[in-house]
Amino acid sequence: MELLKERILKDGHVKDADIIKVDGFLNHQIDIALMDAIGREFKRLFADEKITKVITIEASGIAIACFTALQFNVPLVFAKKSESKNIDGEVYKTTVTSFTHGRDYTVILEKRYLSPDDRIIIIDDILATGKAQRGLLDISAQAGATVVGIGIAIEKGFQGGGDALRKAGYNVQSLAIIDSMQDCKVKFRD
Amino acid sequence: MELLKERILKDGHVKDADIIKVDGFLNHQIDIALMDAIGREFKRLFADEKITKVITIEASGIAIACFTALQFNVPLVFAKKSESKNIDGEVYKTTVTSFTHGRDYTVILEKRYLSPDDRIIIIDDILATGKAQRGLLDISAQAGATVVGIGIAIEKGFQGGGDALRKAGYNVQSLAIIDSMQDCKVKFRD
């Protein structure tokens, strides 16, 4: 997606060979017009898939997932990162290791919100090692839901998570794939 | 807002005199059409205020804040609940006590995303004791930003946070105010 790639080049900040900050438009301050365009692009990419729900994980995937769900006219369900006293009933649970935060956390999703009847896309802002996405795949498998695809704004291709998921048979659609950030220069995959 | 009140009566579950679960449509599974309607209502309520940014706190305020920012055509900035190694630069910091989670957490917002030039509305899904909103007010004060108003989907009026903020001079607009949940019956403020 050219609009997103241009924005990464203009406003992304490479901090080292691993980390790029895109929090001026994607995951801290959020450019709503860009989110809307991203939602439309995911609609185009997964148009024929009869999606019933969009799934993401809190917090930075929620904005993109909202605008994707808006295009598909389906509910969004976001998995939650910790148990609160306000979660009851039966939940699906998994453990995710955060690359960004450097720790494990428990992720839950209430069983009533995901079922074998659901055809879902998993949406997230960043795909790096793929740990968060695999957590959502685990929850989807527990629910018996059909994962039609995985939609990602920015994939850090050099960390391998996206290609491993493709190898496992998932339809991973990343709007921008960064293959290298050597010498603070972003190189996109063709 | 009648649409929201009807939905609370239809799909909200009172768990005890303090807690109502609205996670079937507001903050776990999200009804996108309802979010869109809520965004339009906040636009109507704060139409003349020359808003430059919408501010919320992760995670459950993000969806409503997205659709509000969409209506105002301004960026959304969400305060983050913990430090990650991907936050650099100068940040505003405050401490918030979560009623739902029963613990304190640090909330941060990067300084570059909020300034004295900003006229903001604070948006959140639930207002109970007002702790989260006061955290965002603290951050806004540190930034020197002008808080034009506070927009809330559901205010638990009986917990007093909203009225205390009104008394302090803030323009708090809650789309549904619950004044009592005695005997599992929701009573709205007129």
Of B9, B39, B11, nearest to B23 by C-alpha is: B11
Burial class (CB in 10 A: 0-12, 13-18, 19+), B59: buried
A56-81 per-position pLDDT tens digit: 999 999 999 999 999 999 999 999 98
B71-99 per-position pLDDT tens digit: 999 999 999 987 555 555 689 999 998 76
Burial class (CB in 10 A: 0-12, 13-18, 19+), B97: middle
- β A146-156/A119-127 pair status: parallel
For B58-171, strand residue ranges (E) read 76-79, 91-98, 103-110, 119-127, 146-156
Q: A115 CB near a chain B CB, below 8 Å?
A: no
Residue B38: its chain A contacts at CB < 8 A?
Answer: none
Residue B51: its chain A contacts at CB < 8 A?
Answer: none
Q: Is the pLDDT of residue A88 over 70?
A: no
A101-122 per-position pLDDT tens digit: 778 889 999 999 999 999 999 9
- Rounded to 5 degrees, φ, ψ at A76 are -105, 135
Give me the count of residues in chain B: 190
What pLDDT sits at residue A82? 75
Q: B30 CB near a chain A CB, below 8 Å?
A: yes
Interface of A with B in 5-24 (CB under 8 A): 15, 19, 21, 23-24
Q: Is the pLDDT of residue A16 over 90?
A: no
What pLDDT sits at residue B86? 55
SS3 content of chain A, % helix, strand, coil (to 5): 35, 35, 35
Q: Residues B98, B102, B103, CA angle at the centre, nearest 5°?
A: 70
CB A111 within 8 A of CB A91: yes
Q: Is the pLDDT of residue A177 over 70?
A: yes
Give me the count of residues in chain A: 190
CB A119 within 8 A of CB A144: no
What pLDDT sits at residue A84? 56
| Residue bearing the bigger pLDDT, A80 or A99 | A80
Name the band, by pLDDT with cuts 50, 70 and 90, for residue A18.
confident
Residue A75 and residue A55: Cα distance in Å, rounded? 9
CB A51 within 8 A of CB A73: no
Interface test with A, best of B32, B88, B91 (most A CBs within 10 A): B32
A130-156 per-position pLDDT tens digit: 999 999 999 999 999 999 999 999 999
Interface test with A, best of B20, B78, B86 (most A CBs within 10 A): B86
Residue A158 and residue A155: Cα distance in Å, rounded? 9
What pLDDT sits at residue A74? 98
What pLDDT sits at residue A105? 86
Q: A81 CB near a chain B CB, below 8 Å?
A: yes
B93-140 per-position pLDDT tens digit: 999 987 667 788 899 999 999 999 999 999 999 999 999 999 999 999
Burial class (CB in 10 A: 0-12, 13-18, 19+), A48: exposed
Q: A57 CB near a chain B CB, below 8 Å?
A: no
Q: B103 CB near a chain A CB, below 8 Å?
A: no
Residue B3 and residue B122: Cα distance in Å, rounded? 22
CB B17 within 8 A of CB B181: yes
Q: Whose structure tokens read 């006590």?
A: B97
Residue A84: its chain B contacts at CB < 8 A?
Answer: 98, 100-102
